[in-house]
Amino acid sequence: MFMSRSRVQRWAILLLTVGLLAVVPIAASAQTQADVDRAERNREIAEARKSEAYRDYQRVTAQLDEAVEKYMQLWAEREEITYRIQLMEQAAARYQEEAAELNERARSIVIDAYISGQRNLVGSAFTASSIQELVTSQALIGRATERELESLDNLDAVSRQAERSSAELAVRRADVAANQEAAAVVVDEIEELRQEQGAILAKADDILHAAIDRYNKELNEKRVEDARIRRQQAEKSASRPGAAGGAPPEATPGFMCPVHGRTSFIDSWGFARSGGRRHKGVDMFAARNTPIVAVVDGRIKFSSNSLGGLSTHLYADNGTVYYYTHLEGHPTDITSGQTVTKGTIVGYVGNSGNARYTSPHVHFEIRPNGKAVNPYPTVRSAC
């Protein structure tokens, strides 16, 4: 017995409807369970964010940021003072050289007086307690010619300026010593805070780790936004954009954090450095020997000099150069000139070069087309 076409269609619709009813609750049930799991996870994380351990982590992180910023300010101040000392030493050397020449001229006047029998001038030379007393003595002034009088006046002025410069140098050197003592205290504080932060993480369970990861992500997003606002304000004040604005995204594709471990850093672009230089990187503080990795694929070059100490250059295919310096050492399993992949260890955190009296860190630069730009926005987004 055959069914009519209309009955077949009705049966097909009925079977299809039953099938759909059987499938829909399963999908809805699976989706609902995922929502429930997600909600439960969020609830647990929210509870973890109320815990004492979580508040301790927030406190330590805030204190660590403050300590790093204080250290960087002290470093900038020390570099500025050191630069001024260098300028003052150069000026003092010129004063001493000029004073020596003028002093020799004063001696010539005395010798000429001795030869010509001017005993009063010779007596003044022997009894004078200082060069200033001699050059201002009436006996010498009376003997000197007009040109010689000008030389004597210059000698008096130069000698006094040399004394003032020497006294000011002593004050500046004392400032450097005080700065170094203050910086040493902050370095100890940074190390203690790192250890405390590490202890919190070591004891944290999976839920607390998730809460801390979320907190760090939110904190980094805020830092990036704050840095963006500061850059905009600086560019507006300067009436033009510049290297302080950071690297465009197309210059750093696939970028990863250069420090493979916990690190602390601030936006220190433009801070004072010795020799009148300005800071053209970001100083990323971390425990000594923390691995430093290639941020992208590229070719590496190892080098060493008195300023940066041990360094690594990473040359990306798109022309951007990444520079790491003040390293503790280079890896032994790769050689300079070798091509490496992103994430390969290319050095270790240290304080070599002129950073030997600082806390271990890596000075990191980004140079699109060979010119350094502020790396902080890129690094902050990745670390």
CB 362, CB 352: distance < 8 Å: no
Question: How far is residue 42 CA from its own chain's centroid?
Answer: 37
Mean pLDDT of 279-301: 93
Compute the distance between CA of residue 295 and CA of residue 367 in angstroms, rounded to an integer. Answer: 13
Structure tokens, 54? 């979580």
Mean pLDDT of 289-318: 93
- Of the three residues 168, 187, 206, the one that is the final residue of a domain is 187
In a domain, residue 16? The reply is yes
Using CA atoms, how far residue 352 sits from 98, 291, 373, in Å, is 39, 15, 23
Report the number of distinct structural domains present in the chain.
3
Shared-domain flag, residues 35 and 81: no
- Of the three residues 167, 187, 207, the one that is the final residue of a domain is 187
Its pTM stands at 0.53
Give the chain's mean pLDDT.
77
Compute the distance between CA of residue 267 and CA of residue 65 in angstroms, rounded to an integer. Answer: 11
Shared-domain flag, residues 13 and 94: no
Compute the distance between CA of residue 383 and CA of residue 7 in angstroms, rounded to an integer. Answer: 67
Shared-domain flag, residues 167 and 272: no
Higher pLDDT, 375 or 123: 375
In a domain, residue 52? The reply is no
In a domain, residue 224? The reply is no
In a domain, residue 86? The reply is yes
In a domain, residue 14? The reply is yes
Shared-domain flag, residues 101 and 181: yes
In a domain, residue 204? The reply is no
| Containing structural domain, residue 287 | 248-382
Shared-domain flag, residues 34 and 128: no
Shared-domain flag, residues 269 and 372: yes
- What pLDDT digit, counting tens, does each position of 1-53 carry? 444 545 545 544 444 444 544 444 444 445 687 777 677 788 888 888 889 99
Shared-domain flag, residues 29 and 150: no
Q: Identify residue 17 by its one-letter amino acid code.
A: T
CATH code for position 264? 2.70.70.10
pLDDT band, residue 283 (cuts 50/70/90): very high
Structure tokens, 168? 């000011």
Residue 130 above 60 pLDDT? Answer: no
Structure tokens, 196? 């405390």
* pLDDT of amino acid 63: 93
Residue 256 above 80 pLDDT? Answer: yes
Structure tokens, 282? 């970001």
Q: What is the DSSP letter of 350?
A: B
pLDDT band, residue 110 (cuts 50/70/90): low
* pLDDT of amino acid 28: 46
Shared-domain flag, residues 378 and 264: yes
Residue 220 above 70 pLDDT? Answer: yes
SS3 assignment, position 79: helix
Residue 341 above 90 pLDDT? Answer: yes
Shared-domain flag, residues 32 and 77: no
Compute the distance between CA of residue 320 and CA of residue 85 in angstroms, rounded to an integer. Answer: 36
Higher pLDDT, 5 or 169: 169
Shared-domain flag, residues 32 and 83: no
- Phi first, then psi, for residue 285 (nearest 5°) are -85, 135
What is the share, in percent, of the chain residues with pLDDT greater than 90? 27
* pLDDT of amino acid 347: 96
In a domain, residue 51? The reply is no
Residues in the chain: 383
Higher pLDDT, 171 or 246: 171
**E strand or H helix at 201, and its extent?**
helix 146-203
End-to-end Cα, the chain, rounded Å: 75
Lowest model confidence (mean pLDDT) among 70-84, 232-246, 364-378: 232-246
Compute the distance between CA of residue 336 and CA of residue 318 in angstroms, rounded to an integer. Answer: 20
Shared-domain flag, residues 292 and 366: yes
In a domain, residue 115? The reply is yes
Shared-domain flag, residues 167 and 252: no
Residue found under tokens 């050689």: 335
